[in-house]
Chain A
Amino acid sequence: SQQGEEDPQALSIQEGENATMNCSYKTSINNLQWYRQNSGRGLVHLILIRSNEREKHSGRLRVTLDTSKKSSSLLITASRAADTASYFCATDSGGYNKLIFGAGTRLAVHP
């Protein structure tokens, strides 16, 4: 079962534009993580935000978390063609670091 739902399912933008992806989840969480997956490859961890944090930055990435709305957003600023990938949110709700992934947002950045 998948807890997180990403929105939109697909996003197409031009280089230099910002890309925003949203994630909603159903149960309380310890933390929420974002991963990137290039076509046919493994996932790469981007950023982790804990339940007591509201915003986090890493380079061109900005993640927000609203636990009252059970939602998170990932903003990629000044997008590049190399950012073309699928982006997944994953929630950690219990012990043993078990993650539940959403279905992902497919981002296409055109030169």
Chain B
Amino acid sequence: EAEVAQSPRYKITEKSQAVAFWCDPISGHATLYWYRQILGQGPELLVQFQDESVVDDSQLPKDRFSAERLKGVDSTLKIQPAELGDSAMYLCASSFGTSGRTGNEQFFGPGTRLTVL
């Protein structure tokens, strides 16, 4: 069964360092999402791609976070510099959705647990 892949699964870093997370969505899924989930809360969307284009990054702290999906397949989320408040689970999801369509279930990867010391 096809799955969304993420790496690393766990990352410990010191504040002010740079970190990067990688996501490989399910083959054929045009839409890719990065979420941040703080312990005890629901996921919050950081950025959404349709193919290689960003369609929503309204909640992405752009002074320190960046995301790219250069060929419209896999994606990287970067934080530079990391802050203590960035400690969270970072989840990637994908869906078989085209621009403007709604009602598609999202398939989630296992997440990357980030701890900033």
**Which of A's residues lie within 8 Å of B, judged by CB?**
2, 4, 30-31, 33, 35, 40-45, 48, 50, 88, 90, 92, 94-104
Contacts and interface: CB of A to CB of B under 8 A. Distances in A.
B54 to A, nearest CB: 11
B55 interface: yes
B66 interface: no
A102 B104 CA distance: 18
Interface string B86-110: 0001010101010111111111111
Main secondary structure of the interface of B (DSSP, over half): loop
Given A42-B4, A101-B42, A92 B103 contact: yes
A96 B40 CA distance: 27
The interface centre, meaning the residue of B43, B101, B109 with most chain A CB atoms within 10 A of its CB, is B43
A30 B100 CA distance: 12
Contacts of A96: 31, 48, 50, 55-56, 97, 99-100, 102
